A = this chain, B = another copy of it.
């Protein structure tokens, strides 16, 4: 049974188990905001004078983060704009709805929105990747390549130095567990709340929701009245990350606070040791011979993917 709000004595609506707090809606949303502010501070994600572009998908995490960063920009002193990609997923009007909901919320907050249309700007869509006979990657992996490439490119073109994404604690702890299983040192070293730029034409990537759970952003939007796209991506059903999230949530249920402990202790203690070792062995970053953007191979994954899709046309 929920008790009174720990902070004001009003009836509590939410229990935050790992913080041992019962909170009313007002103090819960303030708690989430403070939590994100602390994550930014703990990992030094944003500093005064930064130009931050936030990639928004229209989903719960990126819109919650848009609201929170928009309120923080005055206090911390950074510039904020948003970026949305129309991926061209037609089933259930998925991309159409995602674009509309992103545009609407940016208008409401008065945040500038850069709009990318995959078909118009890059000549192909996720639907075309999916139906291509020449792409061997799983669709979610191709989509990852596209999003990482396009968000970086647009952020560079906008003159930003930092690209924020809505990856949350559930995403990050599940991916960390998966990387532990695979012991992919490269992926481990490149994971975490901040991936600094490694050279020209590459912005830093930051994840201000690194220690904020999916449940928290969902409730945050509910209490704040932020409308996000409830629909899941039609291609994502049964994706392995979704199932791994269930495993880390089973861990959290057995051991309250373990999701945060897992990612925090990785970043504090294990990653620095792996990174020190890795820096001796890491590949240099070059510029792609086709597009001129950073890659560790001759032609970057995005250009190779684009070429594979074009074979079908």
Could you tell me which A residues sit within 8 Å of B by CB distance? 177, 180-183, 185, 240, 243-244, 246-247, 250-251, 254-255, 258, 261-262, 265-266, 268-270, 273-274, 276-277
Contact = CB atoms under 8 A, between A and B. Distances in A.
A106 to B, nearest CB: 37
Given A181-B261, A240-B254, A250-B250, 7 more contacts: A180-B180, A183-B268, A185-B273, A247-B250, A247-B254, A273-B273, A273-B277
Contacts of A240: 254-255
Contacts of A277: 273, 276-277
A98 to B, nearest CB: 28
A208 to B, nearest CB: 22
A177 B259 CA distance: 11
Contacts of A247: 247, 250-251, 254
A276 B274 CA distance: 10
Contacts of A243: 254-255
A185 B270 CA distance: 8
Residue in A180, A262, A269 whose Cβ sees the most chain B Cβ within 10 Å? A180
B183 A265 contact: yes
A284 B113 CA distance: 59
B274 A182 contact: no
**Most chain B CB neighbours (cut-off 10 Å) among A181, A265, A269, A273:** A181
17 contacts: A180-B265, A181-B262, A181-B265, A183-B265, A183-B266, A185-B273, A243-B254, A244-B251, A244-B254, A244-B255, A246-B254, A247-B247, A250-B250, A270-B274, A273-B274, A273-B277, A276-B277
